[in-house]
Amino acid sequence: ATLAGGCCPGASRNRFAYNEAGQVRIRAGLPIYECNSRCRCGAECPNRVVQRGIRYDLCIFRTGDGRGWGVRTLQRIRKNSFVMEYVGEIITSEEAERRGQVYDRQGATYLFDLDYVEDVYTVDAAHYGNISHFVNHSCDPNLQVYNVFIENLDQRLPRIALFATRPIRAGEELTFDYNMHVDPVDAESTRMDSNFGLVGGSLGGSPRARGRIECKCGAASCR
């Protein structure tokens, strides 16, 4: 398939998300549809990015300012490049509510609502996950959340991909906004709920964020 042909995104009437270098070129809030096992293209198709997994050398480290563990990149990351997927158990929102009360008492949470169309499922990275479990919040983050569909096209179950919002230097800490809000692309569309928020222990704005906590991100624009 060619970029011009649109490959799978063309079939689903969505814009092709990437340029030839694999950098995302659509705005956050629009879904990314990657090629899957039903496509005729091969592994090197430019529309297979998130499914290839992490391509950068990343490192978990202990922060020195009370934010616990964090993640930094050991390599320079180009703007709009895929960095990592937020991975965990997929649970129902009812189960997330129950677990959230426990996590609130422990003072930490890893619940990420999948509310691209409706709030039915949540990803819990507390017990099962990848390096994204350790990524800290920032009010001025260098990673942006995108909803990605590959093998599973159920809009209630997007995969959560983190892309670089700007060039990131080697040695720099990686962060995303736990309470990120993305403007609906089409104001008349009901498909975009626009509340991509890590639940609980965050900065308010989520129905399950019961307690406000001090933010230590250090950004000039800190909320």
Q: Is 210 marked within a binding site?
A: no
18 is catalytic: no
Calpha distance 175→162 (Å, rounded): 10
Query: From CA 112, how far away is CA 197, in angstroms rounded?
Result: 6
Q: Catalytic site residue 178?
A: yes
The answer to whether 103 is a known ligand-binding residue is no
Using CA atoms, how far apart are residues 67 and 173, in angstroms rounded to an integer?
A: 12
133 is in an annotated binding site: no
* Distance in angstroms (rounded) separating the CA atoms of residues 124 and 111: 5
Helix (H, G, I), strand (E, B) or coil at 176: strand
Q: Which of 18, 33, 110, 178 is catalytic?
A: 178
Question: For residues 47 and 149, what is the distance between their CA atoms, to the nearest angstrom?
Answer: 11
Contacts of 98 (CB under 8 A, 6+ apart): none
59 annotated as ligand-binding: no
Which is catalytic among the residues 33, 86, 110, 146?
Answer: 86
Q: Does 217 show up as a binding residue in the annotation? A: yes
136 annotated as belonging to a binding site for a ligand: yes
- Residue 9, H or E segment: helix 7-11
Q: Identify any residues that bridge with 147 across adjacent strands, giving them in sequence order.
A: 160
Q: Which residues are catalytic?
A: 86, 178
Binding residues for S-adenosyl-L-methionine, as ranges, are: 67-69, 136-137, 178, 216
Binding residues, as ranges, are: 7-8, 35, 39, 41, 45, 67-69, 136-137, 139, 178, 215-217, 222
